[in-house]
Structure 1
Amino acid sequence: MDVKTNGNISFWYADIGGIPAYRGALPGDIEADVCIVGAGFTGLWTAYYLRKADPSIRIAVVEREFAGFGASGRNGGWLSGGFWWSREKYLKSSTRGAVIDMQRAMAGTVDEVIAVTGAEGIDADIRRVDNLNVAVNKPQLDRARAEYEEFLRWDMPPERMEMIGAAEAKARINIRNAQGAFVIRDMARVQPAKLVRGLADAVERLGVPIYEQTEVTGIEKGKVTTRRGTVRAPVIIRATEGFTPGLPGYERAILPLNSALIVTEPLPQALWDEIGWNGHELLGDTAHAYCYAQRTREGRIAMGGRGVPYRFGSRTDVRGQTQQATIEKLHAILTRLLPQASGARIDHAWCGVLGVPRDWCTSAGLDPQTGIGWAGGYVGLGVSSSNLAGRTLRDLILRRDTELTRLPWVNRTVRQWEPEPLRWLGVHSMYQLYRIADAREEAGLDHTSRLAHLADLITGH
């Protein structure tokens, strides 16, 4: 199965005609009120909301490649509004009510993103859908039920979710061996490259320059140093997510975890009649090494999961290129869940990195002493979480005391990741144990494998 990328870093760019033409680079030394490093969702949402709030503020966005080069243009297209970080970890420095407020604010990002795309005329193939987390064996079903019950304990509105049995799950999507599913409503499917490029255009229409081909070599109080010149600004926002370790001084702040996707050819209607998926649900599973999928606008299946989970020394991929072994693993997941699609051609494969903090919980903040702010470490939930981050950073920059700035993810301090080779050993051990645990459960183990608990213990997941 030899799959080409056709020169694009993801299928989503092939879908819009290829890699876009670059914007101009930083022309030299400049001054601004706010300098944003990174033109992905986090940086662009921050620029958008900040400029909307104060049209006089001078904002400069600097980007090493092009707007949407990283995870913002390579993800699985889940506008989820989800909350899959540890509530208990946030609770250690906050209150139950504040954690529930954060959960509610995250859920609200779905409506907010859809509202902005409507207001700005951004066509991103957005479609409101349910999220179907399917279980194909007893341990997976037990975990799905446990997650459902946890959501109830944390005051998730009951009308937003339900547990369904095998027959109803298969009626929605004809998953092999489906035993049930945890369904969450009020999410959305999106074409991420369309969304991030449309957002970049909207930011430019507001008068905010985006300087592409401008690699940042250093961040310090009041100054961003690049290979094209220096930006002096009293406020600097680091919006670099999985690429953060490439910045001097931030090598261990975030772990760049690799994720990869494949996309099939458009499937014929006769095959869709066998599969179902008429609700276009976001599809995930409750395996330890979980997968995520969507049915695209033109009737393809996009299937994602972990390939080579981590590269030694926090290295990132080369423009989305992924390994043949990763493609084969994702194809195996696709055919295991949907054997009806086993003969479908794989048209595109790619990978990217998502940011993981040491405690696996996202944060956003602004240090008033240095003027340096950040948001990220979304652990795969960035399409929606970055929107809340942009609004939160706006309020922090403008020194507003709001409901957003009082949420428990704001100004959290997280310890750094261990030096190598401990990072590499820890992450690879975790995923190897997950794979073994999944295999044992698939072979008939009637409870969650203890190896999965050991894997979580190793990395603090």
Structure 2
Amino acid sequence: MTARRAVEEHSLNAYKHVVYWHDTEPVTPGPPLRETVDCDVCIVGGGFTGLWTAYFLKEAEPALDIRIVEAHHSGYGASGRADGFVTPTIGKDIQALVKEFGEERALEASQAVGRSILEIGRFTRKNKVDAEYEATDYLMVATDAAQLRRLEEDRDLAVRMGAAPPEIMSRDEAMSVVGSPAIAAGMRTGGALVNPFKLARGLARVVREKGVTLYDRTPCLRVEPGVRPVVVTAGGRVKADKVVLATNVHMDAFPPFRRKVVPIWTYAMVSEPLTDAQLARVPWAGREGLVEAKSLLTCARFTHDNRIMFAGGPAPYYWGRDKRQRNMNRPEVYREIHREFLRFFPMWADVEFSYAYGGTADVVRDYAPHFGTLAGGRVLYGYGYCGNGIAATHTGGKVLRDLTLGKDTPHSRLLFVDDGRRRPPASFPPEPALYIGARAATRLMNWKESRP
């Protein structure tokens, strides 16, 4: 082993394979369910989708008895592992949604998610949730000709949809926003940054204060159908008028969704706080989020205490839908992320990274969220954010509120809803075809996006 490789391996071994956000606020999990209870609405999953649904239901109908069962604690899963970009994204392929639903309905959905960005900020201020919310926008950047073409396509689509056309910045203009030599062009997009774990924990506190009962350490074993469905857990049962399934990447635990979603791993690294001298090397006064214009995202941002979070690299699927925590320890992934970091920021070669971690995102065949009802409207669901869920889950909470209450509203008619005009996503194949297909799809995506 060379001296350089030995140093690199030592650095990799020194990483803390813990989600950085989880270290920013202590958690004492609440009590689990230990009895049989009866309620109006039982929500399975205490992440953003379930919490926002409970919040909006309580805002609309304060008398509702709402219970949430959560396998760990709110913020433990994908909600508290996100990179913290609050964007107007709806899935990963807006062009496909425009083709299927038309420009008017796609714009309507985009605007609904865009409003959620502002409303999340208002929620944190109103409820004194210290989620480190920063209304910074973010900069979508191109580093080659293929990515510049994608920026141009996004700009042209915005024009066709009737939105204000975003300006494509030259290299010098974009570098004046974020001083990375890798940037060839850029486009500013509305958005914000947040500490996702603190947002989830604050949201859980708020819904408890509104009278919602949360059961931590209470994984759902199954849902028994019936006139009043029953959520069965290891320690008890919840009989409810309505059950909302909000487990996202874990939706495959329920038979109707077993092959509708696959867990794709995404990874991030977080540095030690940068010194004033290190910060001075890179113009980045606005603290905007940085996102590379490709499907398998590379992104970067500052945390509240001036650490650099850098995410990207491979987004693998592991055989057998492997979601185990052991997949955090993937040295080859972190080597690739660090190489990408130095491509963007060679002037930060001395920056020390202390956190290296990952988590799973729920990916569906059409790369867009899905909401709907089963069992005659007694069971509801929402999932499929494909790693872009912080704002979309807020919008989704309104969708699930209106579906739960049986109301015909603009939210219940958004293109996200699996109604007569939209069907649930196509199923994924079983193993080994799933593993082979997932790896092939990643290679194909990389090839398509590398073409000039």
2-structure distance, mates of 1:343, 1:386? 37
Please tell me whether the aligned partners of residues 85 and 362 of structure 1 are also in contact (alpha carbons under 8 angstroms): no
For residues 35-73 of structure 1, the C-alpha deviation after alignment (integer angstroms, 9 at most, x for no partner) is 100000000000111012111111110011111111100
SS class of match (2:259) = coil
The answer as to 2:338 corresponding to 1:331 is yes
Aligned residue among 172, 197, 206 for 2:201: 197
Residue 421 of structure 1: CA displacement? 1.3
What is the aligned partner in structure 1 of residue 12 from structure 2? 2
Structure 1 residues 250 and 319 mapped into 2: Cα distance closer, same or farther (>3 Å)? farther
Aligned residue among 42, 57, 60 for 1:35: 42
Residue 324 of structure 1: CA displacement? 1.2
Task: List runs of 5+ in structure 1 lacking aligned partners.
Answer: 442-446, 449-461
What is the aligned partner in structure 1 of residue 124 from structure 2? 117
Please tell me whether the aligned partners of residues 256 and 354 of structure 1 are also in contact (alpha carbons under 8 angstroms): yes
2-structure distance, mates of 1:425, 1:241? 23
Moved more, 405-414 or 59-68: 405-414
Residue 321 of structure 1: CA displacement? 2.4
Please tell me whether the aligned partners of residues 41 and 243 of structure 2 are also in contact (alpha carbons under 8 angstroms): yes
Residue 155 of structure 1: CA displacement? 2.1
The answer as to 2:200 corresponding to 1:214 is no
2-structure distance, mates of 1:279, 1:331? 24
The answer as to 2:192 corresponding to 1:188 is yes
1-structure distance, mates of 2:309, 2:232? 38
What is the aligned partner in structure 1 of residue 29 from structure 2? 22
Aligned residue among 79, 103, 112 for 1:105: 112
Q: How many residues end up aligned between the 2 structures?
A: 435
What is the aligned partner in structure 1 of residue 133 from structure 2? 126
What is the aligned partner in structure 1 of residue 433 from structure 2? 422
Aligned residue among 406, 418, 421 for 1:399: 406
Residue 90 of structure 1: CA displacement? 3.9
Moved more, 37-46 or 367-376: 367-376
For residues 133-153 of structure 1, the C-alpha deviation after alignment (integer angstroms, 9 at most, x for no partner) is 111222222222222222222
Residue 333 of structure 1: CA displacement? 1.0
The answer as to 2:281 corresponding to 1:271 is no
Structure 1 residues 155 and 423 mapped into 2: Cα distance closer, same or farther (>3 Å)? farther
TM-score by length of 1: 0.89
Residue 177 of structure 1: CA displacement? 3.4
What is the aligned partner in structure 2 of residue 71 from structure 1? 78
Pairwise mapping of residues 45-84 of structure 1 onto structure 2 (< 5 A)?
Answer: 45-84=52-91
Residue 102 of structure 1: CA displacement? 0.9
Please tell me whether the aligned partners of residues 145 and 182 of structure 1 are also in contact (alpha carbons under 8 angstroms): no
What is the aligned partner in structure 1 of residue 22 from structure 2? 13
Structure 1 residues 40 and 309 mapped into 2: Cα distance closer, same or farther (>3 Å)? same
Structure 1 residues 352 and 144 mapped into 2: Cα distance closer, same or farther (>3 Å)? same
For residues 304-344 of structure 1, the C-alpha deviation after alignment (integer angstroms, 9 at most, x for no partner) is 12545111121213177231111111111111111112221
Please tell me whether the aligned partners of residues 217 and 247 of structure 1 are also in contact (alpha carbons under 8 angstroms): no
What is the aligned partner in structure 2 of residue 457 from structure 1? none
What is the aligned partner in structure 2 of residue 345 from structure 1? 352
Please tell me whether the aligned partners of residues 5 and 11 of structure 1 are also in contact (alpha carbons under 8 angstroms): no
SS class of match (1:325) = helix
Structure 1 residues 3 and 261 mapped into 2: Cα distance closer, same or farther (>3 Å)? farther
Task: List runs of 5+ in structure 2 lacking aligned partners.
Answer: 1-10
For residues 140-194 of structure 1, the C-alpha deviation after alignment (integer angstroms, 9 at most, x for no partner) is 2222222222222222223xx3210000111111212321112213x10101111
Please tell me whether the aligned partners of residues 3 and 349 of structure 1 are also in contact (alpha carbons under 8 angstroms): no
What is the aligned partner in structure 1 of residue 6 from structure 2? none
2:176 is aligned with what amino acid? A
SS class of match (2:63) = coil
Moved more, 88-97 or 318-327: 88-97
SS class of match (1:258) = strand
Structure 1 residues 191 and 3 mapped into 2: Cα distance closer, same or farther (>3 Å)? farther
Moved more, 97-106 or 302-311: 302-311
Residue 367 of structure 1: CA displacement? 3.1
Structure 1 residues 277 and 417 mapped into 2: Cα distance closer, same or farther (>3 Å)? same
SS class of match (1:270) = helix
1-structure distance, mates of 2:295, 2:405? 41
Please tell me whether the aligned partners of residues 264 and 347 of structure 1 are also in contact (alpha carbons under 8 angstroms): yes
Structure 1 residues 182 and 308 mapped into 2: Cα distance closer, same or farther (>3 Å)? closer
What is the aligned partner in structure 2 of residue 377 from structure 1? 384
